Amino acid sequence: MKPSRSALFLAGSLTAFLASASTQASNLTWDNGAATGAWNLTDANFGGSAWTNGNTAVFGGSDASTVTINASGVSAAGLTFSANNDVITQSGGNTLTLTSIPVVTVGSGLTATINSPLVGVDGIDVEGSGVLNLGGVSTLSGGTNGFLGLRVGVTSSGNTVNLSNGGTLGTIDANRRSLYIGNSAFGSNSVVISTPGTSLAPTFNVSGNGAQMFLGASSSSNSLLVNNGAYVAQTNGGGTNTWSIGINSGANSNSFTIDGANSQVVFGSNQILDVGKAGNSNSFTVSNGGFFRSSRLGVGDAGGSFNSATVIGTGAANSTIVTLSGTSNNAFEIGSGSGANSNYVSVQAGGVINITGTGTSRNYSIGGKGQQNTQTAGGDSNYLEVTGTNSAFNMTAALPLTLGGTATGAGPGTVTDGGNNNHINISSGGTITLTSTSLYVFGSTSTGNTSVNLGNGIGTSTLTVGATAGYTAGVYLSNANGALNINSGRLIAGAAGALVSGAGTVDLLGAANISTAFASSISTVITGAGSLTKEGSGTLDLTNLNSYTGDTTVTTTGGVLKMENACLSDIGKVNLFNGGKLNLNTGGATDTIGALYLDGVLQTAAGTWGSSSSGAANQNDTYFSGTGKLLVAAVPEPTVALLGGLGLLGLLRRRRGA
């Protein structure tokens, strides 16, 4: 999509303003003529003359200079560095005041350092394709035109700003461009914030009505890195407070990273992080103990593709935590709108995402139609993955998490289909816990494969689902192409009622553990070659005509697996442990199985098995209830099986000899 008219107007206005401001001031060139190294209003260090406030200071020559501001009241409309490793410092607590929308220019391939504190009311613009190190405790506030803060790469590419070595920047307020990296045609700019900070003394503090960050408005390959224990605070001042990465079409491969223990970016209420709003391949990463908090997170939420948010921990001791907190304005979106394809959120290596909220005006969707169904369609092939031991996605909300669709409004609310081939993948011991919240799985009824993939055969991955007021409980597979695939996974009921329901299927690709302490049910068809183990003290009612062919196990005292149809596999084993009971509520029907084990002991008695009310030949009320019966296939004696095996071996040898 093309940049919006408002974005073009703001960018154009800013460029024009900067050009106008630069023509109003003269350039005074530092030559240290008085040989004092001091920047004040008296020493003749600028071309044989003393400094006059309101001009642009130029630092050049062949050798690096160290300039010390040793008097109060020094101000400049801009700074230009044309020599490498020039340093501006201060003594006696003196500061450098920046005026007239100041431009700091560092020549291409050069590095300049400002360790003097900076103050000003019109922000700062960094250009020239060089590296600027800011090491002072600076305070800049926005101007009245509404887009003045720290701006990097408005008129040039390849600029770098390092807020390090004690450098801090604060009170950038009353503006809509608090941090602006990369304009429409100028990319490959970077900002690194690495001075350690705290909530009481932030490294970078943004406040004010409508304060925002643009990383790659319409340009590509810009980056923002917060590391080394830096603390970035976005204090809500009202209005829309949005941090956006890759805003317009063509704004690609921009990255925002929070890395390392105690490195934090903390937003106030009603604040948003958009990753790849309409651009492609933009990324947000929180790693190695970093922390992030916002009210809303969107990844590819206005048609962008291949955008990502990744949370990487360092194991159980130092998990990375991403928290989306808020009430009515809470939201979580991956891949909203037509063309918003292949976006993802990944939680890895002990990373954690926590989502809490009580509002119903937003949504929590993967491949949905966006906020309040404002998009015309949902995106395709988007996904949420949680992989690795101690990696977790935890959500408590008044709305369900939706896959391939959108749900908004208090239950039953407005529920609509979205895109296709969207997925949730829980693997290698990862966990998703939806406390008091259900999971809705959508996708077209005629195309696509929208699925929840619980487990990958490595470790035991876990999905816990509760119930959302007014919405269908548990996992709701809305359409026939929706699937819950289980392969070494544990599905836990967080509330009574429907655990899995709808027109889709549960496919057992491997071991499936179903745990409930409540009266729960699965009404969808269960298929596949995997095994089913019922855990927990509650009753799990399987109401459909299932076709899975693996073993069936009940493990817990007081726990009941209730069968409404005689559909157990003829070759599968039934294992009942510790008083775990099988309720054969099959209307007296007989169900053939391969073998029966009670507390691990193979039952060799021929004939039917069941409760005392079933009329079975072998009756046991400890392990059976209901009127149905199991018919156990004949079990050969061990000696017979051994002789048969030896006879087969002899036959094979004779055939080979022939």
Tell me which of 47-51, 447-451, 624-628 is least confident.
Answer: 447-451
> Both tokens of residue 45?
């260090």
Flag whether pLDDT at 193 surpasses 50: yes
Residue-wise pLDDT tens digits, 139-149: 887 655 555 68
Do the beta carbons of residue 324 and residue 293 sit within 8 Å?
yes
Flag whether pLDDT at 104 surpasses 60: yes
Per-residue pLDDT, 415: 85
Do the beta carbons of residue 233 and residue 204 sit within 8 Å?
yes
CA-nearest of 394, 228, 391, 418 to 312 is: 391
For the chain, what is the mean pLDDT?
87
- Percent of all residues in the chain with a pLDDT value above 90, rounded to a whole number: 66
Flag whether pLDDT at 648 surpasses 70: no
Do the beta carbons of residue 138 and residue 129 sit within 8 Å?
no
Residue-wise pLDDT tens digits, 24-49: 468 999 999 899 999 999 999 999 99
Compute the distance between CA of residue 630 and CA of residue 616 in angstroms, rounded to an integer.
8
Per-residue pLDDT, 107: 95
Flag whether pLDDT at 261 surpasses 70: yes
Contacts of 120 (CB under 8 A, 6+ apart): 97, 98, 99, 102, 140, 141
Which letter, b or e, does each residue of 253-262 get, where b requires 16 or more Cβ atoms within 10 Å of its Cβ?
Answer: bbbbbbbbee
CA angle 184, 16, 193 (to 5 degrees): 55
Tell me which of 26-40, 350-364, 451-465, 641-655 is least confident.
Answer: 641-655
Compute the distance between CA of residue 514 and CA of residue 506 in angstroms, rounded to an integer.
12
CA-nearest of 510, 460, 502 to 485 is: 510
Alpha carbon distances (Å) from 94 to 74, 81, 150:
9, 21, 21
CA angle 52, 56, 60 (to 5 degrees): 110
Flag whether pLDDT at 5 surpasses 60: no
| Beta-bridge partners for 602 | 597
Range 552-568 average pLDDT: 94
Range 631-646 average pLDDT: 54
Flag whether pLDDT at 1 surpasses 80: no
Flag whether pLDDT at 182 surpasses 70: yes
Per-residue pLDDT, 125: 92
Residues counted in the chain: 658
Per-residue pLDDT, 149: 82
Per-residue pLDDT, 173: 67
Compute the distance between CA of residue 395 and CA of residue 443 in angstroms, rounded to an integer.
22
Per-residue pLDDT, 321: 87
Range 502-521 average pLDDT: 96
Per-residue pLDDT, 42: 95
Per-residue pLDDT, 269: 74
Per-residue pLDDT, 381: 94
Residue-wise pLDDT tens digits, 299-347: 998 889 999 999 999 866 567 888 887 666 788 999 988 889 999 999 9
| Beta-bridge partners for 236 | 208
Tell me which of 197-201, 218-222, 634-638 is least confident.
Answer: 634-638
Flag whether pLDDT at 238 surpasses 70: no
> Both tokens of residue 506?
């549960």
Q: Grade residue 4 by pLDDT with cuts at 50, 70 and 90.
A: very low
Per the model's pLDDT, the better-predicted residue between 22 and 397 turns out to be: 397
User: Hey, where are the domains in the chain?
Assistant: 273-406+430-437, 508-658
Per the model's pLDDT, the better-predicted residue between 322 and 576 turns out to be: 576
Per-residue pLDDT, 362: 82
Q: Grade residue 490 by pLDDT with cuts at 50, 70 and 90.
A: very high
**412 cis-preceded (ω within 30 degrees of 0):** yes
Contacts of 118 (CB under 8 A, 6+ apart): 95, 96, 97, 98, 124, 134, 136, 138, 139, 140
Task: Give one DSSP letter per residue of 181-242, joined into a string.
Answer: E--SS----EEEE-S---SSS-SEEEEETT--EEE-SS-SS-EEEEETT-EEEEEE-SS-EE
Range 351-362 average pLDDT: 88
Residue-wise pLDDT tens digits, 405-424: 888 888 888 888 888 899 99
Residue-wise pLDDT tens digits, 107-121: 999 999 999 999 988
Do the beta carbons of residue 287 and residue 318 sit within 8 Å?
no
Per-residue pLDDT, 649: 41
Per-residue pLDDT, 79: 96
Range 552-563 average pLDDT: 94
Per-residue pLDDT, 559: 94
Contacts of 198 (CB under 8 A, 6+ apart): 231
In the numeric block, the tokens 């958009």 are attached to 274
Range 237-245 average pLDDT: 75
> Both tokens of residue 57?
């200071």
